[in-house]
Amino acid sequence: MERNGIFHSVCPLDCPDQCGLLLHKKDGKIVKVEGDPEHPVTKGHICNKVRNMTERIYDENRLKYPLKRIGPKGEGKFTRISWEEALRTITAHWSELIHSDGPESILPYSFYGNMGRLSAEGIDRRFFHRLGASRLDQTICSSAGSVGYKYTMGGSLGIDPEDTIHSKLIFFWGINAASTNMHQVALAQKARKQNGAKIIVIDVHKNQTGRLADWFIPILPGTDSALALGLMQIMFAENMVDQDFLQTYTVGHEELREHVMQYNPETVSAITGVPVADIYKLARMYGETSPSFIRIGNGPQHHDNGGMFVRTVACLPALTGQWLVKGGGAIKGNSGYLALNTEYLQRPNLLKNKNTRIVNMNLLGEALLSLDPPIKSLYVYGSNPAVVAPSSHKVRKGLAREDLFTVVHDLFLTETAKYADIVLPATSSFENTDIYTSYWHHYTQLQQPVIEPFGEAKSNVEVFRLLAHTMGFGDEAAFKETEAEMIEGTLNNPRNPYLAGINFEGLAESNYLKAKVKPLFPGKLPTPSGKIELYSERMKQDGHPPLPTYIPLLNDGDHPYQFVPGPNHNFLNSTFSNNQKHVDLEKEPRLHMNKKDALAAGIQDGEMVRVWNDRGECTLKVSIGESVLPGVVVSQGLWADENGTKQLVNVLTPDRIADMGGGATFFSGRVSIEKN
């Protein structure tokens, strides 16, 4: 490996932009991370978080070798052990458990701390399939919205974001894109400059994204479906719909026209808090401007009714036939275009018992506390559930169980790792070989090792290979393949013509290969009818209203404020919350509150308040202003909760399951607030 030079790389974080990077190396160490100007979409611009990535890669607290716990669970006292001892301890426990309780007593828990496909959903799946462990339903992020979008559009298929420079009207609907999808903001700003495009932001919080809007529309949490239906009502009533498009490419437009009559502007205004005049103005702008583009965010789908919200908004572009116009349409997610050969990557055929139980990751606390037969061992990688999972009071109680054998594989001694019996050190993505596909743009990228593994750290791929070997599955080809072989087999997906021609060698040579994506229309969608389903028979069969509908949030107890604890600018979920540089950039967690509410409660700006409900309590510093509507409070960031700081917002969040996809309802909780 060369000790000096500039090397191509890709951002591994769970962020739609998936930037191309250049790593500057000096004397064997990365000294600078910058954007690669040759990436066709991200064009050399990267966020603050990753510009400071060296602070994380070489953080003095990074795990260097395996550890065994020597203090109580949660306290964080560990001693160094060898890899051999770690692997022997884990596999001996598991072999015993398989014998005494069966393999379903073991639960893997993971998410996308590293988006590399081999790391996050490759050899790990092969391993746990072969082991026969309980399966994890990965519902924490976007599953409600993905299911909702699929009912309308058939799959995670939107427009090419590169086309959005042609848009003349751009909605950021429930997405804090300035922090979470910065290159979509750059494209929107380019459209604004080139074609005078207007940027509309619809959000419960006037954050960085709202501040750059031409028009910011504040809305009450969980009411967005009503607004979308109200826009439809006006568009039908004022004849702003494209009858030809509706006739040719949709199912149920006549039923929809009838159905939306109940969502008149007065009714919608009372539900959403958006003034009647603004609803008319917005409907007319949307009805009369083409191309128009809606970037559908994750915020409004982290609610009880989140699936239905996305299903509903996804109907809007059809009304004016936007899908036929370059730069018109919507993006919720685009992963459908880059679908890999998962049969090959994950080997579901290794799973002998097809009825192996499935555990919803949003219910981790419940699962650890009350699943019968119980979970006796938990293996966590690429995720930090003690901080990120809802109702974390339950999660922590479960993690503290003395009879639970927990293993955590991570780069840091996260709050979850503090509960582990065995901690394994993970490499950073810059030390690995892996394949990356964006869920927003259409490019695929390859990562090859740029630096040597840190200390004794090992990649997920290597750890699962070793676990398979130690368990005695060594004979399976599935655990012997090289990374390059896995990547080659995974890219070869006969069911996805868009990926044709993309392979390991090509990626190694040209860095960025674009899927050969065609516009969705004219064409046939993967819905049952092949058309956009404004009316969905499938939804009816699944127990949902077949037409888009506003369903209020569920009762979350008698507390005066709706609590929306979203992500912040300088962390990525809980990643970076344990790196001093990023903590310093973000300063401290804050609770945004409307000045009317603050006045009524006698709370001053900058004061510490106790935020509580039946699940738990936090202590946060209040920021008073008009960035949220009365009755709504917003916090940002998943902060570590060290030394009794009480800033862990997920102790307050419900673990109710959303209407679709087993999704999370982080933003549907209510809280009370008082001076500390």
Which residues are near ligand MGD by CB under 6 A? 14-15, 111-114, 119, 140-141, 174-176, 179-180, 202-205, 207, 219, 221-222, 224, 297-300, 303, 381-384, 388, 409-412, 414, 426, 429, 460, 564-567, 569, 571-575, 634, 638, 649-650, 653, 666-667
Q: Which amino acid is at 22?
A: L
Place of tokens 């949307």: 286
DSSP state of 658: P
Select the binding partner of residue 17 from ligand MGD, ligand SF4, Mo ion, none (C-beta < 5 to 8 A, by kind): ligand SF4
Provide the minimum distance between the beta carbon of 176 and Mo ion in the complex, in angstroms, as a whole number: 12
Which is nearer to ligand MGD, 14 or 533 (by Cβ)?
A: 14
Tell me the per-residue interface mask from 138 to 167 with Mo ion, x by CB under 5 A, - otherwise.
---x--------------------------
* Contact call for residues 424 and 407 (beta carbons, < 8 A): yes
Residue appearing with tokens 């309980």: 134
Q: Which does 19 bind (CB under 5 to 8 A by kind): ligand MGD, Mo ion, ligand SF4, none?
A: ligand SF4
Output 393 or 538, the one with its CB closest to ligand MGD.
393
Provide the minimum distance between the beta carbon of 634 and ligand MGD in the complex, in angstroms, as a whole number.
6
- The gap from C-alpha 534 to its chain's centroid, in whole angstroms, comes to 26
The upper half-sphere exposure of residue 67, i.e. CA atoms within 13 Å in the direction of its Cβ, equals 26
Partner interacting with residue 207 (select from ligand SF4, Mo ion, ligand MGD, none; CB below 5-8 Å by kind): ligand MGD
Toward ligand SF4, which CB reaches closer, 249 or 576?
576
Considering the complex, what minimum distance in angstroms separates the CB of residue 255 from ligand MGD?
A: 26
CB of 352 to ligand MGD, least distance (A): 26
Q: How far apart (Å, rounded) are the C-alpha atoms in residues 52 and 577?
A: 13
* Residue window 123-142: x/- pattern of binding to Mo ion, with contact defined by CB under 5 A: ------------------x-
Q: Indicate the residue among 298 and 322 with the shorter CB distance to Mo ion.
A: 298
- Sign, Cα dihedral of 408, 392, 634, 264: positive
DSSP letter string, 191-242: HHHHH--EEEEEESB--HHHHT-SEEEE--TT-HHHHHHHHHHHHHHTT-S-
The vertex-144 CA angle with 514 and 153, nearest 5°, equals 55
Count the residues in the chain: 676
Name the minimum Å distance from CB 515 to ligand MGD. 21
The secondary structure of residue 354, as a DSSP letter, is T
Closer residue to ligand MGD (CB): 15 or 241: 15
Q: How far does Cα 347 stand from its chain's mean position? A: 24
- SS in 3 state form for 403-416? CCEEEEEECCCCCC
Instruction: Please list every residue from 516 through 545 that binds Mo ion, using CB under 5 A.
Output: none
Residues found near ligand SF4 in the complex (CB under 6 A):
11, 13, 15, 17-19, 46-47, 49-50, 182
Q: Is the peptide bond before 519 cis (omega within 30 degrees of 0)?
A: no
Angle CA 593–599–602, to nearest 5: 100
Measured between alpha carbons, how far is 228 from 319 in angstroms, rounded to an integer? 12
In angstroms, give the least distance from the CB of 402 to ligand MGD.
24
Shortest distance (Å) from residue 573 CB to ligand SF4: 11
Cα–Cα distance measured from residue 479 to residue 523, given in angstroms and rounded to the nearest whole number: 41
Rounded Cα distance, 407 and 86, in Å: 10
Answer whether 367's CB lies under 8 Å from 107's CB: yes
**Judged by CB, which is closer to ligand SF4: 15, or 457?**
15
Nearer to ligand MGD, 140 or 603 (CB): 140
- When the beta carbons of 17 and 597 are compared against ligand SF4, the nearer one is 17
Q: Are 188 and 200 in contact (CB under 8 A)?
A: no
Residue 11 interacts, among ligand MGD, Mo ion, ligand SF4, none and using kind-specific CB cut-offs from 5 to 8 Å, with ligand SF4
Smaller CB distance to ligand MGD: residue 41 or 499?
41
Query: In whole angstroms, how close is the CB of 371 to ligand SF4 at the nearest point?
Result: 35
Q: How far is the CB of 569 from ligand MGD (least distance, A)?
A: 5
Position closest to ligand MGD via CB: 299
HSE (CB half, 13 Å, CA atoms) of 485?
8
Query: Given the rule CB under 5 A, which residues bind Mo ion?
Result: 141
